Chain A
Amino acid sequence: MADHKHDADHAHSAEHFREKHLMLDPLPRGVMNDMVMESMTTKPGWKFWTTVIILSGIVAYGLVYSWAKMIAEGIGIAGVNRPSYWGIFLVNTVFWIGISHAGTFISAILRVFKAEFRRPFTRAAELMTTFGLVQAGFSIFMHMGRVWLSYWLMPYPNQRMLWPNFHSPLSWDLLAITTYLLSSTMYLFLPLIPDMAMARDRSTGWRKNLYKVLALGFRGTEGEWTHLRNAMNIFAFAIIPVMFSVHTIVSWDFAAATRPGWNSTIFGPYFIVGALHSGMGAAVVVLAVIRSNMKHMDYFIRAEHFDAIGKLMLIISMAWAYFFFNDYMVQWYGGDKWTHQLLHFHEAGPLGWMWFAMLVCNVAIPWAILWNTKWRSTPWLVSTVGIIINVGMWFERYIIVPISLSINRMPFTWRMYKPGVEIPLGIGTLALFILLYVVASKIIPLIPVWEVQEGQMAHELKKFGRETVVSVSELE
């Protein structure tokens, strides 16, 4: 009978929806809590300990020992010289701040735009922000000649009767990055409180003590939820201009300078889009690693999320290409002889391969792969593209900092830059980022279960005529 067939169709498509979409596949909250707690508290096996030991070794040599050596002997063991006074240290700083922007994009911008697919991975993204900013902080302190006096750059009343020079983009950097680091840590912590309460209720021993302290006595009263959600709303809206301003100010470290190739008015938005580009690529790698290495995460993080992030990656790649071309076209057209020398050096100099690799990794490969829905929904493929994008974006910053510095208006000083101790130091920051994440995955529940449940409560399947569609209620 016609009815029976339609019902069967409906049942089939409902099953299909449930399989594909986390929001349409609700489980009892208790079960989800169990899954998250189990994935966090499973006794770590040999894979975990091997990873931790190797990473700690890399951090100990690459970060701790190498930095101590550089402080003792001077910046001379790095590769910076005249005219490339800034090198990989600044490249890494911009790189890590860029990665940290993805976290804010996911947890703030996607929340403001009510993109429901963000729900399971906002916390994983925010952790990327905090840990990425830590590495950026290390990288910027590393490059200072007398880092033991870096506190002179903080605004405090002192015996020298001096405040920092706010004419300098570096002082703006200090304010912006401090604001961003504190804000995103607070924004990480606020939605974490209810999950800390959940973890407190379900653990024993040292974990219970830790979560009890961090949960601050949260119970879930109407008052507590109201204050929390009000604050989260304010944060979501306010942290977006902060995020935009941070990377713009970082770009002004270069744009405010007089160097050919640097003094470009488009650096602000160019850097922001670049940050999102590398950040989303890193986010997708983190999600793929979490999904394949932690128990039960394949329930929370599904192909649909990679599909959604893949779409964003494609759009951002197009935006990056637009800004890159904007910057390039105007420099090429302007005819300034120094800028032309610089552009020629970028493309045809000894490191010209890097320029082409940057374009391939940032534009060609994403455009070739991410247009296809099926490919976008394949976690390993999207995360490979994510890694390639990050390599391309690191090349982009290498071109902007040491390579562009090699060419200036005094040809007698033109010289190549050859990195020295920056390499172990940079690898050390990468290892520390991964190490912090691995340790955090054992202590902090990576999925905001209450937000997932909130989303599941709001989603339902409805019939419009003969078609079954997903319907989302605005519960707030």
Chain B
Amino acid sequence: MTEEKKVVDLLAVFSDLGPAADAVEQLRTLGVSDDCMNVISGVPVTEAMLGRPRQWTNVPRIAMGGAILGLSAGIFLAFIAPYAYPYPIQVSTQAFVPGPPTVVVLFELTMLGMLLSTFLGVFLDSFFPNYRPMKYVPEISDGKIAIFVECPDCDEKKITDLLKKLGAESVKPAEAQHL
């Protein structure tokens, strides 16, 4: 029995949350696995609203790593740098490594490290900046929800009919274009 091995690569645009969630559910019954689906939206809709599996993110871990780097920089400036001079410099009767100023230095540099790395984490996790042609339609930033189906083993006509029945505004082949 020959099966259609054509790769299905569709983009369906919905304007409401309800029909989009229905579509995701129905697509699963048609044999499209969650990995083959991707949802793009103009407003953050959580995966739970659409019945999708949760996305993992590395941002918190990267933030923690950055905080540790910042703390190390602070430890260097507070504890090591004062002894790096030709001779330890004496100011007033304060110790070479004074207590409260050290707290300030450690705190500020830890926060700086954490926040810089959180910012970088977004870039790394999302592969920003990305100026290659990507699959997208501009209607999404007008608040629409788009479902990509990229299924190597499915019936294109059945999927298209289902999506149209559930209220998709348009179903068309997904083309990678310059954004």
Question: B173 contacts which chain A residues (CB < 8 A)?
Answer: none
Expressed in whole angstroms, the minimum distance between the Cβ of A452 and any Cβ of chain B is 10
Complex partner residue of B107 from A165, A186, A227, A245, CB under 8 angstroms: A245
How far, in angstroms, from A198 to B115 measured CA to CA in the complex? 26
How far, in angstroms, from A213 to B91 measured CA to CA in the complex? 50
Tell me if B46 is interfacial: C-beta within 8 Å of chain A. yes
**Contact residues of B between 1 and 57, Cβ < 8 Å to A:** 38-44, 46-47, 52, 55, 57
Known A155-B77, A167-B94; 20 more pairs at CB < 8 Å: A165-B89, A166-B98, A186-B116, A201-B141, A213-B131, A215-B179, A216-B123, A216-B129, A220-B41, A220-B42, A220-B141, A223-B126, A227-B57, A227-B59, A228-B44, A231-B121, A234-B115, A235-B115, A238-B111, A453-B42
Tell me if A403 is interfacial: C-beta within 8 Å of chain B. no
B118 in contact with A29 (CB, 8 Å): no
Complex partner residue of A450 from B43, B52, B59, B81, CB under 8 angstroms: B43
A175 in contact with B108 (CB, 8 Å): yes
Tell me if B152 is interfacial: C-beta within 8 Å of chain A. no
Tell me if B68 is interfacial: C-beta within 8 Å of chain A. no
A-B pairs under 8 A by CB, number: 183
Complex partner residue of B43 from A230, A235, A457, CB under 8 angstroms: A457
Interface size class of A (residues with CB under 8 A): 35 or more
B101 in contact with A166 (CB, 8 Å): yes
Tell me if B69 is interfacial: C-beta within 8 Å of chain A. no
Complex partner residue of B134 from A155, A217, A235, CB under 8 angstroms: A217
**Contact residues of A between 200 and 231, Cβ < 8 Å to B:** 200-202, 212-213, 215-231
Using CB atoms and an 8 Å cutoff, list the residues of chain A in contact with chain B: 28-30, 33, 155, 161-163, 165-167, 172, 175-176, 178-179, 182-183, 186, 189-190, 194, 197-198, 200-202, 212-213, 215-231, 234-235, 238-239, 241-242, 245, 249, 450, 453-454, 457, 475-476
How far, in angstroms, from A179 to B109 measured CA to CA in the complex? 8
Using CB atoms and an 8 Å cutoff, list the residues of chain B in contact with chain A: 38-44, 46-47, 52, 55, 57-60, 63, 77-78, 81-82, 84-86, 89, 91-92, 94, 98, 101-102, 104-105, 107-109, 111-112, 114-116, 118-119, 121-123, 125-132, 134, 136, 138, 140-143, 179
Expressed in whole angstroms, the minimum distance between the Cβ of A191 and any Cβ of chain B is 11
Residue of B nearest to A225 (CB): B44
Question: A215 contacts which chain B residues (CB < 8 A)?
Answer: 179
How far, in angstroms, from A256 to B65 measured CA to CA in the complex? 33
- Nearest first, the 10 A-B pairs at minimum CB distance are A29-B143, A217-B130, A201-B138, A198-B141, A216-B128, A30-B142, A163-B81, A216-B129, A175-B108, A226-B55
How far, in angstroms, from A239 to B119 measured CA to CA in the complex? 13
Question: B102 contacts which chain A residues (CB < 8 A)?
Answer: 166
Residue of A nearest to B50 (CB): A222
Expressed in whole angstroms, the minimum distance between the Cβ of A240 and any Cβ of chain B is 10
Question: A218 contacts which chain B residues (CB < 8 A)?
Answer: 126, 128
How far, in angstroms, from A186 to B119 measured CA to CA in the complex? 7
Complex partner residue of B179 from A219, A226, A475, A476, CB under 8 angstroms: A219
- Would you mind naming 11 contact pairs between A and B with Cβ atoms under 8 Å apart? A29-B43, A30-B143, A167-B92, A179-B109, A197-B179, A222-B40, A229-B44, A230-B59, A231-B59, A231-B119, A476-B46
B129 in contact with A234 (CB, 8 Å): no
A234 in contact with B39 (CB, 8 Å): no
> Contacts A165-B91, A183-B112, A227-B59 known; A29 to B39 CB distance under 8 Å?
no
> Contacts A29-B142, A30-B143, A176-B108 known; A234 to B59 CB distance under 8 Å?
yes
How far, in angstroms, from A189 to B179 measured CA to CA in the complex? 19
Complex partner residue of A242 from B57, B58, B84, B111, CB under 8 angstroms: B111
A221 in contact with B46 (CB, 8 Å): no
Greatest chain B CB density within 10 A among A167, A189, A238, A242 is at A167
Expressed in whole angstroms, the minimum distance between the Cβ of B93 and any Cβ of chain A is 11
How far, in angstroms, from A461 to B98 measured CA to CA in the complex? 58
Complex partner residue of B140 from A219, A235, A457, A476, CB under 8 angstroms: A219
Residue of A nearest to B52 (CB): A222
Residue of B nearest to A179 (CB): B112
Expressed in whole angstroms, the minimum distance between the Cβ of B43 and any Cβ of chain A is 5
A217 in contact with B128 (CB, 8 Å): yes
How far, in angstroms, from A450 to B42 measured CA to CA in the complex? 7
B115 in contact with A222 (CB, 8 Å): no
Residue of A nearest to B121 (CB): A231
> Contacts A175-B108, A175-B112, A217-B128 known; A29 to B42 CB distance under 8 Å?
yes
Question: A197 contacts which chain B residues (CB < 8 A)?
Answer: 141, 179
Question: B40 contacts which chain A residues (CB < 8 A)?
Answer: 219-222
A167 in contact with B122 (CB, 8 Å): no
B84 in contact with A161 (CB, 8 Å): yes
Complex partner residue of A225 from B41, B98, B127, CB under 8 angstroms: B41
B86 in contact with A227 (CB, 8 Å): no
Complex partner residue of B55 from A162, A200, A222, A457, CB under 8 angstroms: A222
Expressed in whole angstroms, the minimum distance between the Cβ of B25 and any Cβ of chain A is 16
A172 in contact with B77 (CB, 8 Å): no
> Contacts A166-B77, A182-B112, A216-B128 known; A453 to B118 CB distance under 8 Å?
no
